[in-house]
């Protein structure tokens, strides 16, 4: 919790690979725009090798006791770290905005959408079984309550953005029971609150979003569909180096880039820090520092627009140079 001095406490978990390169830069940007108490914590493959668990108890506690967490990425142990941490912050909803920035060479320069993804259940609920040498199964979990919470969040999100409708992504024609329940729950909450929840089949969405992303503002999705469609949206706007995300709970939250540890470029100092910097901006929003968050976004956008970019966006800037340029704008 916020300490006696009223200074927000932020747990910082860089993780593995490029997480250890981009998170310190995003942290420095937070230090530039405000006063925070930072608590460093470890997670992932490296700490697993040293102490035998990828998620030490101290890290769980640091995240639980913080006002918010800034997280990087972890490698092979991702499922053993990020899924439990989403539970620690009691996060129902994963917010993943995908926006094409002026000046960045994007497949779809008009793309500006956000994926609101159910964050606790679906096929990621972890109920998998090996039943024989030939057969493995997975139980998909969908609850009325989690679907309704996501829908309620979507309505509030739309209201804040001045929108009266959103799209709800599903495959209820095949998964009649689980996605049927999801779709019905989301549509009924939308109706109660005076919003229009327009259903779209998830496979059709993959095509239509690629060709006409400007037709979409807010996509409300089950867990797996949101994971896949947000990575697809990343491809439309210039790559994973640009996509931030928020795992929101009522009292606590965890902010992380959508990307992973990028083993192909880790250790070279060339990872794009923008996804993590924009995640830090979402963290500032969560702490009710929206003006500061807007300043961080504007600084980041203006650096991109001026042509300073890391190699993933066709530039030659290092992680440090890119982050320094953003700090200088602040």
Distant-in-sequence, close-in-space partners of 159: CB < 8 Å, separation ≥ 6? none
Q: Which of 124, 157, 179, 216 is catalytic?
A: 124
227 binds, among Mg ion, ligand NAI, none (CB under 5 to 8 A by kind): Mg ion
285 binds, among ligand NAI, Mg ion, none (CB under 5 to 8 A by kind): none
- The two tokens of residue 224 are 């797996």
Q: Which of 80, 90, 217, 231 is catalytic?
A: 231
Q: Which of 67, 171, 216, 285 is catalytic?
A: 171
Sign of torsion over alpha carbons 147, 152, 155, 158: negative
Residue 82 Cβ, how far from ligand NAI at the closest point, in Å?
A: 5
Residue 6 Cβ, how far from Mg ion at the closest point, in Å?
A: 36
Q: Which of 76, 164, 196, 203 is catalytic?
A: 203
The answer to whether 171 is a known catalytic residue is yes
- 199 phi and psi, to 5 degrees? -75, 140
Greatest Cα pair distance, the chain, in angstroms, is: 60
29 binds, among Mg ion, ligand NAI, none (CB under 5 to 8 A by kind): none
Bridge partners, 166 (sequence order): 197
Residue 251 Cβ, how far from Mg ion at the closest point, in Å?
A: 25
Question: CB-wise, 67 or 227, nearer to Mg ion?
Answer: 227
Question: CB-wise, 116 or 200, nearer to ligand NAI?
Answer: 116
The answer to whether 227 is a known catalytic residue is yes
Question: CB-wise, 89 or 265, nearer to ligand NAI?
Answer: 265
Please give the helix or strand (H or E) that residue 255 lies within, else none: strand 253-257
29 vs 26: CA distance, rounded Å: 5
Residue 240 Cβ, how far from Mg ion at the closest point, in Å?
A: 9
78 binds, among ligand NAI, Mg ion, none (CB under 5 to 8 A by kind): ligand NAI
Burial 74-83 (b: 16+ CB within 10 A, else e): bbebbebbbe
256 counts as binding Mg ion under rule CB under 5 A:
no
168 vs 155: CA distance, rounded Å: 12
Binding-site member from 121, 227, 285, 324 for Mg ion (CB under 5 A):
227
Size of the site for Mg ion (CB under 5 A): 1
Q: Which of 104, 103, 59, 102 is nearest to 77 (CA)?
A: 59
Secondary-structure breakdown of the chain: helix, strand, coil percentages, each rounded to the nearest 5: 45, 20, 35
- The two tokens of residue 20 are 């250890």
Q: For Mg ion, which stretch binds (CB under 5 A), given 11-19, 21-29, 223-231, 273-281?
A: 223-231
Q: Which of 45, 179, 227, 285 is catalytic?
A: 227
Residue 288 Cβ, how far from ligand NAI at the closest point, in Å?
A: 26
Helix axes 19-33, 274-286, angle to 10 degrees: 50
240 binds, among Mg ion, ligand NAI, none (CB under 5 to 8 A by kind): ligand NAI
The answer to whether 216 is a known catalytic residue is no
Residue with nearest beta carbon to ligand NAI: 260
The answer to whether 124 is a known catalytic residue is yes
Strand ranges, E, within the chain: 9-15, 37-40, 68-73, 93-99, 112-118, 128-130, 136-138, 165-170, 196-201, 218-221, 244-248, 253-257
User: Which parts of this chain interact with ligand NAI (CB under 6 A)?
Assistant: 18, 22, 73-76, 78, 82, 240-241, 256, 259-265, 271-272, 275, 310, 312
Q: For Mg ion, which stretch binds (CB under 5 A), given 38-46, 54-62, 89-97, 226-234?
A: 226-234
Which DSSP letter does residue 141 get?
B
Q: Which of 82, 99, 87 is nearest to 282 (CA)?
A: 99
Q: Which of 121, 51, 40 is nearest to 87 (CA)?
A: 121
* Contact positions vs Mg ion (CB under 5 A): 227
What are the residue numbers of the active site?
124, 171, 203, 227, 231
């Amino acid at each position: 919790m916020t300490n006696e001095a009223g200074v927000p406490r932020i747990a910082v978990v860089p993780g593995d690979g490029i997480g250890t390169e981009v998170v310190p830069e995003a942290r420095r940007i937070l230090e530039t725009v405000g006063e925070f108490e930072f608590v460093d914590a470890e997670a992932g493959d490296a700490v697993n090798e040293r102490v035998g668990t990828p998620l030490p108890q101290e890290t769980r506690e640091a995240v639980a006791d913080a006002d918010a967490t800034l997280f990087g990425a972890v490698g092979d142990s991702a499922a053993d770290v990020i899924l439990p941490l989403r539970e620690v912050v009691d996060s129902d909803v994963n917010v993943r905005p995908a926006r094409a920035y002026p000046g960045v060479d994007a497949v779809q320069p008009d793309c500006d959408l956000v994926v609101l993804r159910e964050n606790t259940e679906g096929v990621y609920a972890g109920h998998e079984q090996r039943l024989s040498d030939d057969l493995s199964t997975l139980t998909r979990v969908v609850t009325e309550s989690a679907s309704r919470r996501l829908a309620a969040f979507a309505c509030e999100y739309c209201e804040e953005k001045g929108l009266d409708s959103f799209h709800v992504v599903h495959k209820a024609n095949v998964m009649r029971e689980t996605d049927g329940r999801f779709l019905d729950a989301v549509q009924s909450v939308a109706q109660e609150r005076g919003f229009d929840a327009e259903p779209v089949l998830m496979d059709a969405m993959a095509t239509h979003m690629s060709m006409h992303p400007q037709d979409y503002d807010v996509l409300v999705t089950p867990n797996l569909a949101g994971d896949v469609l947000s990575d697809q949206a990343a491809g439309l706007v210039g790559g994973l180096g640009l996509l931030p995300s928020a795992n929101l709970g009522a009292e606590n939250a965890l902010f992380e880039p959508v990307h992973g540890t990028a083993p192909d470029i880790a250790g070279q100092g060339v990872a794009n820090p923008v996804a993590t910097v924009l995640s830090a901006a979402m963290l500032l929003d969560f702490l009710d520092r929206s003006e500061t968050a807007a300043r961080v976004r504007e600084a980041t956008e203006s650096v991109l627009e001026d042509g300073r970019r890391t190699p993933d966006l066709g530039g030659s800037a290092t992680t440090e140079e890119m982050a320094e340029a953003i700090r200088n704008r602040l």
